[in-house]
Amino acid sequence: MTSHSSSGLGLKKGAWSAHEDMLLKNCIEQYGEGKWHLIPLRTGLNRCRKSCRLRWLNYLRPNIKRGDFAEDEVDLMLRLHKLLGNRWSLIAGRIPGRTANDVKNYWNTHIQPRSKQQKKEPDADELLQDATVTIIKPQPYTISKTLNLYMSDNPQLISNGGGSLIRSSNEGGNNNFNVSSVSPNVLLDDEINKYLDELFDDREMEIEGDIEWSFAESSAQAEALNAVDQEEDNNGFFDFSLDEIMWNPMDSQQL
DNA sequence: AAAACCTCCAACCGCCAAGCG
DNA sequence: TCGCTTGGCGGTTGGAGGTTT
């Protein structure tokens, strides 16, 4: 972390004081969020717009939850991360009261180190052989630029974190999904939630009894998650075949 | 008691995309 | 079309506080 010394432009850096917090909070309560470039002018704060925005979003905003993540929050985070990758803002958007920074920090300090450690465990491969998971494959559909036509009957829409959305298609029935961007204004957040709900419900049904989603329960499960994560890292976010995201332990061994 | 080490997380940085003139 | 501004994001840093030696 940088010190309280000023930058070349004379802007203050480092930890925020209670007085600065109060000024920022009062300003946003008065004028509302947004127009971050005006915040320093309105408050007299010697901070850049980015610093003001970050302070508000990660600390001052109402309803921000503090303290350890609950078990269900971690579980949800794991699922969302498997689906979305490092789209922290998207993940945080579906964990009430948690900020993207919270999620990112938790992942980097709690889950990622554990994940790396478990990769080194020698018995993981053996345990993987005992696990059986049914691969769920969605109905194929074709991609089109006239996306509005497909909205109502193709809920397989995923936000990519930049405000735009991703659509995948299974052309030729080979399970290699092509992806294209979708303008954000053509899709409602409800569509994403609907998709996530359906996805998780389906997967819950399939894996129930075989897999506990608590990552601490089994090194084999953790290994399987790691395998998928690694694959996602290698291939980029949505450049995957369905077999890769719907993991198969036997396939994971070959990675 | 104190030095060394570790963990956590607030904050910064650089990049990107959208909007606008 | 181009360049600038702004908002937003993920990656990374480093200080504070806790723990171990």
Reading the block at residue A187, the tokens are 């899709």
Which nucleotides along chain B are within 7 A of a protein C-beta? Answer: 7-14, 17-18
Alpha helices in chain A (DSSP H): 18-31, 39-43, 49-55, 71-84, 88-93, 100-106, 112-119, 124-130, 189-207, 219-235, 242-245, 249-253
Instruction: Please say whether the beta carbons of A221 and A215 come within 8 A.
Output: yes
Give the CA dihedral A184, A185, A189, A193, nearest 10 degrees.
Answer: -60
Quick check: A174 CB within 7 A of strand B?
no
pLDDT 10s digits, A182-194: 333 334 455 555 6
User: What angle, rounded to 10 degrees, do the helices at A112-119 and A219-235 form?
Assistant: 110
Question: Å between A246 CA and C1 C1'?
Answer: 44
pLDDT 10s digits, A119-178: 555 444 333 333 333 333 333 333 333 333 233 333 333 333 333 333 333 333 333 333
E strand or H helix at A158: strand A157-159
Task: Note the pTM of the prediction, 2 decimals.
Answer: 0.58
Place of tokens 């921000």: A64
Quick check: A50 CB within 7 A of strand C?
yes
Q: What is the pLDDT of residue A245?
A: 37
- pLDDT above 60 for A231: no
Quick check: A36 CB within 7 A of strand C?
yes
To the nearest whole percent, how much of chain A has pLDDT over 90?
9
How far apart CA A65 and CA A85 sit, in angstroms, is: 23
